[in-house]
Amino acid sequence: MRVIVALGGNAVLRRGQAPDADVQRANVRAAVKTLARLADRHELVITHGNGPQVGLLALESAADPNLTRPYPFDTLGAQTQGMIGYWMQQALQNALPGRQVLAMVTQTLVTAVDPAFEHPTKFVGQVYEREEAEKLAAEYGWTVRRDGDQWRRVVPSPTPRRIVETRLIHQMIREGVIVVCAGGGGIPVVRDERGRLTGVEAVIDKDLTASMLAEALECDAFLILTDVPRVMRGFGTPHQTEIAHTTPHELRALEFPAGSMGPKVEAVCRFVETTGDMAAIGRLDEAERILDGTAGTIVTPNGRWPLTSTL
């Protein structure tokens, strides 16, 4: 099968950890143990989060007295794609001697008139107490919002339209290359009036980008791998229950938090509705069991896996 994996940001940096390079590289090496086993059995494309890394670099850039203005978000996205992609590429090469691995810095096309630019919603960076968040917002011109019990910076999150390098990724897969790409949802770019690409200040939802890319690459399965075993019905209530097998129709009838599980559910629903193939949300260390149908929340057109006809 051709499988695309969207790694949650916790695969690189877990909440509460120091953002040291050694810590993040160790987390990547741990994630690659599972990814390497998938690559032995399937054609594999890997995407990943970069929210904490972009947030940290943005803060450092804003505070750097040597800069006349902070680095824009498209540039920070490129920096973190390269950094995390390098860690992942090297870990995969060490785990799979002889296999070709390519980490690509990729651009994601959005439209300049997307209403998201007027309404920032995407969380980036670390969490703060409200007083500190409001102080940073006043100092750096940030927009901040509540994220659970604490506060974080938010930036525009326009809808992804296409990965500019899609044809090249397709070519690499056909040649047997494991591709790491679309980190953090990709570098947000628009086309100007002359058709030229230019970066914009935004962060694209990584799961929606992965869903779009999975469709464009004609993947058989789309896995969002995070730190939760399954999607929960009635999450946070006394009656919460795990969802094992379901359909997009059933998932869309439920409510999920907009800042966490909501985009993941939307991403898997879009992929299944468009392609008729399988998507799933579950734990990284259970990826193989998810594909076997014994773990995670598996989403298919008829709620069955492996797929069987309803005729």
Strand partners, 6: 47, 224
Give the whole-angstrom CA distance, residue 211 versus residue 280.
Answer: 11
Tell me, yes or no, if 264 is annotated catalytic.
Answer: yes
Of 85, 183, 206, 296, the catalytic one is 206
Of 10, 55, 125, 183, the catalytic one is 10
Give the whole-angstrom CA distance, residue 118 versus residue 115.
Answer: 6
Of 9, 85, 184, 185, the catalytic one is 9
Q: What is the DSSP letter of 69?
A: S
Tell me, yes or no, if 33 is annotated catalytic.
Answer: no
CB atoms within 10 A of CB 76: 25
Of 49, 50, 51, 122, the catalytic one is 122
Tell me, yes or no, if 135 is annotated catalytic.
Answer: no
262, with CB counted inside 10 A (0-12, 13-18, 19+), is: middle
Quickly list H helices, 47-177. 51-63, 73-95, 130-140, 166-174
Of 77, 264, 282, 296, the catalytic one is 264
Tell me, yes or no, if 9 is annotated catalytic.
Answer: yes
Q: Which distant-in-sequence residues (6+ apart) come within 8 Å of 149 by Cβ? A: none
CB atoms within 10 A of CB 303: 15
CB 191 within 8 A of CB 248: no
84, with CB counted inside 10 A (0-12, 13-18, 19+), is: buried
Residue environment code for 96-118, b if the CB has 16+ CB neighbours within 10 A, otherwise e: beeeebbbbbbbbbbeeebebbe
Strand partners, 3: 44, 221
Q: Which distant-in-sequence residues (6+ apart) come within 8 Å of 66 by Cβ? A: none
Task: List active site positions.
Answer: 9-10, 122, 206, 264
